[in-house]
Structure 1
Amino acid sequence: MTQSPAPLPPPKLRRHLREAASLTQDQVAERVGVTRETVRAWESGRTTPRGRRREAYAQLLASPTEADMVTNTQEAERPPQVTVCLNSDPDHPETLEIPAAPGAPGAREVPEVPGSTEGAEGAETPGGPGGRPTGTTLTPAQAFDALYAFCAPALVRQAYLLCGRRELARESVEQAFQVAWQRWPEVAVDRDPAGWVRATAYEYALSPWHRFRPRYRHPEPPPSDAADRALLDVLLTLPAPYRRTLLLYDGVGLDLPETAAETEASTPAAANRLLHAREAVATRLPELASPSALHRRLAEVASAERLRAAEPTTVRAGSEQRARFWTRAAIAFTVAIIGATALTVRTAPTRYEPAVPPGETVQGVPPRSAPGTLSDAELNLRAKLRSGIQHGPQRLIPLAE
């Protein structure tokens, strides 16, 4: 009788189970006895473990689940948890649990209907008994705050590695979340809201237009540690696509297809960028030739700066203020166009006046001011005057009466 293989969760849940146990890919690889690339392939679904490694990997993923089981008494003492669904896949949901405030406004019970979704109104809590969702639904503001608290601290550190500026890193994350709040109905139902915000923050941080801003013309103080400065200098010398690919693959831990999709490149192009970026880093820093060492150093450099993100309420208020400003600007511009059109219609001629053709007498022109041709009487008078002047002036003799 053959023994059935150990059950494994779906590939999309393996990474979240590992992160729930606070384990890195290197630690899982060391415990199972494989390389970090093999663990990455297991989590992406490209390969599946077999034999003893499958059993060890299944036990390692099941251990945090068993450790998290508590008695009914402990559950009663613990504050209620609200699970935020970060995607819309009912088979492999990505969830985030946060404490629920008692009497939170807008919270309501989710009906136990298999496969029900809330869409943009909030995030449901999948994973109840028998596949039924249980728990509470968050309002859009609460779901946004939960996503911000989950992603913002790490995104600030990643943006710092991309641009090398602390203030620009914080601004990039705030700008990305402001755009996400403006498009929250679209982001809330996205399969990967964290990836959506990350891509937006990366695009803003790598924008070439920041060099023309006065506040970003001068470099910021480098890290205090010499090794951190060396690594950051190497990263900033890489082209922006290479730097982004290296950070996503070796820093964040995405697999190659996901990295290629987020950088809008083909998988071979992303692989070539990654190889050239690793080669450039290894040339100047030989101790970071190993991907595991590079991953560890990227995490250390990003964590050493102690970058802090703004409060989610501040980000939401800024997003709403920006939306109001552009709405009023659009209304004012539209009113200006309407006013200019009305003025043009009011002052424009009501009929067509054709141009004067050449050779035609123009009517209404005043007579010439210069003297014209003399008449016969004027000619006789002129002749008489000219003839009298030749014989001298005539004397005027008074006549006696």
Structure 2
Amino acid sequence: MTESPASKLPSPKERRRLRESGSLTQAQVAAQVGVRRATVRAWERGRSAPGGQEGEAYARLLAALAEPTAAQGVAGQASPGKHPPGAGALPSALTAAQAFDALYAFCAPALVRQAYLLTGRRELARESVERAFQLAWQRWPEVARDRDPAGWVRAIAYECALSPWHRFRPRYRSPEPPPVDPADRALLNALLQLPPSYRRTLVLYDGVGLDLPETAAETEASTPAAAGRLTHARQVVAAHVPALADPAVLHRRLAELASSERLLAAKPTAVRACGERRNVFWTRAAIAFTVTIIGATTLTLRSAPTHYEPPIAPAQAVHGVPPPAAMGPLSRQELALRARLHRQEANGPERLMPVAR
């Protein structure tokens, strides 16, 4: 009698490791096996044992993930949840450019779709993802050693997409054309009614497929706060679109909405070149600013006085000085003297002698 695949399941801890090595989320595994995400979570925690046809499908999926070639094929078809092929830090056998291109090819298409769910703008979604990868290339040694490079880039892309400064840019002041499908348009309008933090929590949990602690860590919130945001976001979406009250239906509709738009990311070589140009520009700007500061400081030192000069006291009014007396009329003796002087020669006497009285 042949042994069924379900009887050869690995341990619960190994099940999760295999899933993460194939870059699959619990929601993606549940969709392939045909069960709920909570069921996959229970299988990975050892709370329940797989059985029946679902258990056999789950065993075949794990066996495929255990083979390196098959794992890479599964990872290439899945949207990035947590890790690129080969969970953890990127392999050191590749060059920096090759490792960056592999991460970009794996994450960028799905990140552009996720950013579109956050912003409702196609060009802004593409720009945010490219900006995130440009920063990743500038800090590549740090990103390459990170245990979750895809999560590092995703967090930066979400921050860029949800930045409040975009509202002041002229190109983003007018709304973009909405989706053609009325159902997609209603779902997108419901998402945009949410505050940015609630929208991000909903996309991470119901769109990407992260669990609640991972969603809380990426949104920099506590687990209860993330749960509250998720509950409120689901209620708002269900109030606008009652058919999306079921989380499984909401997860499927988010994937369909993101996939229905034509969202293309740039080539990794172009992103790397743009990141290098930005790096050169800011390096030159920093050097020019430093040279300007040094020149201004040198000019100040050269033109500054070398000794102390006391300040000049301000002018003050002097009081108590008598006004000058005006010249009055001449006396008789003074008039006679003036007449006698006028009658003499112009040069006057050659010598005047004082006369004693």
TM-score tier after normalising by the smaller chain length:
0.7 to 0.9
Separation of aligned partners in 2, 1:41 and 1:157: 29
Deviation at 1:382, TM superposition (A): 6.3
Specify the alignment match of 1:26 in structure 2: 31
Deviation at 1:49, TM superposition (A): 3.1
In structure 1, the partner of 2:350 is none
Q: Distance in 2 between the 1:10 and 1:350 partners?
A: 78
Equivalent in the alignment of 2:19: 14
Bigger mean CA deviation after superposition, 48-57 or 224-233 = 48-57
Distance 1:199 1:66 in 2: 29
Structure 2: gaps of 5 or more residues: 1-6, 77-81, 317-322, 344-357
Measured in 2, the distance between the counterparts of 1:330 and 1:69 equals: 47
**Aligned-pair distance for 1:271?**
0.3
Query: Match for 1:265 among 221, 227, 235?
Result: 221
Equivalent residues of 1:17, 1:64 under 8 A apart: no
1:212 matched to 2:211? The reply is no
SS of equivalent residue, structure 2 residue 85? strand
Matched letter for residue 7 of structure 1: P
The CA RMSD over aligned residues, in Å, is 3.7
TM-score calculated relative to the size of structure 1:
0.69
The alpha carbon displacement at 1:61 in A equals 3.0
- The answer to whether the Cα contact below 8 Å between 1:187 and 1:196 also exists between their aligned partners in 2 is yes
TM-score, normalised relative to structure 2: 0.77
Q: Determine the structure 1 residue equivalent to 2:103.
A: 147
The residue correspondences of 1:1-400 to structure 2 (distance < 5 A) are 6-8=9-11, 9-17=14-22, 19=24, 24-30=29-35, 35-42=36-43, 46-50=45-49, 52=51, 56=56, 59-65=59-65, 96=85, 123-124=91-92, 137-356=93-312, 383-384=330-331, 388=335
Distance 2:220 2:120 in 1: 23
Q: How many Å apart are 1:283 and its aligned residue? A: 1.0
Residue of structure 1 equivalent to 2:79: none
Distance in 2 between residues matched to 1:239 and 1:17, nearest whole Å: 33
For the residues of structure 2 that align with 1:46 and 1:184, how far apart are their CA atoms?
34
Aligned residues of 1:14 and 1:61 also touching (Cα < 8 A): no
Mapped to 2, the partners of 1:244 and 1:172 lie a distance apart of 14
Task: Give, in whole Å, the separation in 2 of the partners of 1:307 and 1:358.
Answer: 74
Amino acid at match of 1:197: V
The 3-state SS of whatever aligns with 2:157 is helix
- Aligned-partner SS, 1:349: coil
Query: Could you say which residue in structure 2 is the equivalent of 1:102?
Result: none
Q: Which has the higher helix share?
A: 2
Name the CA distance, whole Å, in 1 between partners of 2:238 and 2:133.
Answer: 35
Alpha-carbon distance change, 329 to 17 in structure 1, aligned in 2, over 3 angstroms: closer
Give 1:66 shift.
7.8
The 3 A distance-change label for structure 1 pair 283 and 47 is farther
Secondary structure of 1:96's aligned partner: coil
Q: Does the 8 Å contact 1:159/1:202 carry over to 2? A: yes
1:385 CA displacement: 8.6
Q: Distance in 2 between matches of 1:251 and 1:17?
A: 18
Specify the SS of the correspondent of 1:238: coil
- Distance in 2 between the 1:41 and 1:383 partners? 130
| Post-superposition CA distance 1:294-329 (Å, at most 9, x none) | 011000110010200000000000000000000000
Could you tell me which residue of structure 1 aligns to residue 319 of structure 2? Answer: none
The alignment-based identity, stated in percent, is 60
Distance 1:190-1:288 versus aligned 2 partners, 3 A rule: same
Native 8 Å contact 2:18 2:65 kept in 1: no
Change in Cα spacing, 1:256 to 1:47, as seen in structure 2 (3 Å) is farther
5+ residue gaps, structure 1, are: 71-80, 85-92, 98-116, 125-136, 361-371
Q: In the TM superposition, what is the alpha-carbon distance from 1:7 to its structure 2 partner?
A: 1.9
Aligned partner of 1:39: which letter? Answer: V
User: Are residues 339 and 245 of structure 1, via their aligned partners in 2, closer, same or farther at CA, if it must alter by over 3 Å?
Assistant: same
Counterparts of 1:298 and 1:284, CA distance in 2: 15
Q: Deviations over 1:340-387 (max 9, x none)?
A: 111111111001112356899xxxxxxxxxxx969xxx97x9634997
1:75 maps to what in 2?
none
Kindly tell me the number of residue pairs found equivalent between the two proteins.
315
Which whole-Å deviations, capped at 9, do the CAs of 1:157-185 have from their partners, x for residues lacking one?
A: 00000001000000000000000000000
**Kept after mapping to 2: 8 A contact 1:162/1:236:** yes
Residues in 1 aligned to 2:28 and 2:209: alpha-carbon distance in whole angstroms: 13
8 A contact 1:41–1:255 mirrored in 2:
no
